[in-house]
Amino acid sequence: MKKLDFSSRAVQVFTLIFLSLIWGSSFILMKRGLESYPPQEIAALRLFLVFVVLFPSTIKHFKVLKPSNRWAFLSVGVFGSAIPYFLFVMAQTEISSSLSGILNSLTPLFTLIFAIAFFKQKIRPISMVGVSLGLIGAIGLIYFSAEHELAKSFTVYMLLPIIASACYGINVNIIKSKLQNIDPVAVTALSFALIGPVGGVYLFGFSDFVTHFQEPNGLQSFGYISILAVAGTALAVLIFNMLIKETTALFASSVTYLIPIVAIIWGVVDGEEFNVTQLLFAGLILGGISLIKSKKKAD
């Protein structure tokens, strides 16, 4: 089987679309999981299941983990997975899945801020313009969608996806600057190897997970979380890390700009209206992503 060439522009664009479809649908899976399990159990189960799925790769790449880079792998696990997974699912106990997904589109902005402030990355002016256009497009989608009325009624739970997006911004910069030369499979497997067991210990030693699993809808909700873990986490994070390696941190993080578009598509399928104004803002997002894309391998 021929491997995908992630240095190809066509493959990069296709990957963005593919990831946006997976992650744009992950919020509804969290919602289904919440029907039987509390947020902390969903986050812990997600981490533990990914650790189990990727364990063979962990064994294969374990020699890559060294004292000099352990902190980087641990940081990727904490900022790229553990904290955001808990914050997003906690947010969805009080706000809608689509609003949570829309707020996630702040990730490229945080990626840009951290790249300049802490990682001393040189960012092209045209990429900054692209980030701005994408952000304007995302805000426009919020304002002209059904989520606008909800967004006007501020709740502290709206801060949780924003904090999670900031964590993602830190994560992609760490991968790009500290783990650039490491195999993306190793980055993914080893980062979960450092945090996944903690999730397992919490689940089976300090939570009511087993009791919740035995409830009438426990198995069904477990199935939704399993799909979230395998497709929305193990597979998607691996592909995302491959994308970061071959492009820029900004371009890879711009996948979150496409998530509001996916949310709108799901809304249309569910009978919601779609207007020309939303189409224009969606076009603005796509234009912003085009500007963010650099021909160089790194900014």
Mean pLDDT of 194-217: 95
Could you give the CA distance from residue 74 to residue 83 in angstroms, rounded to a whole number?
Answer: 12
Closest CA to 22 of 292, 227, 253: 227
Could you give the CA distance from residue 103 to residue 259 in angstroms, rounded to a whole number?
Answer: 10
List CB contacts of 242: < 8 A, sequence separation 6 or more: 6, 15, 184
List CB contacts of 231: < 8 A, sequence separation 6 or more: 22
pLDDT for 120 equals 73
3-state class percentages of the chain: helix first, strand second, coil last, to nearest 5: 80, 0, 20
Q: List pLDDT tens digits, range 37-96.
A: 999 999 999 999 999 999 999 999 999 999 989 999 999 999 999 999 999 999 888 877
* Percentage of the chain lying above the pLDDT 70 cut: 85
pLDDT for 247 equals 81
Could you give the CA distance from residue 2 to residue 14 in angstroms, rounded to a whole number?
Answer: 16
pLDDT for 1 equals 38
Instruction: Read off the pLDDT band of 285 (50, 70, 90).
Output: confident
Closest CA to 178 of 69, 274, 95, 257: 69
Q: Spell out the domain ranges in the chain.
A: 9-292
Which tokens belong to 240? 């995302």
Enter the pTM of the model.
0.84
Q: List pLDDT tens digits, range 21-45.
A: 888 778 778 888 999 999 999 999 9
The CA-based dihedral angle spanning residues 78, 252, 143, 160, taken in that order and rounded to the nearest 10 degrees:
0
Q: List pLDDT tens digits, range 219-263.
A: 999 999 999 999 888 999 999 888 888 887 778 888 877 776 776
Phi and psi torsions of 142, nearest 5°: -65, -50
pLDDT for 79 equals 96
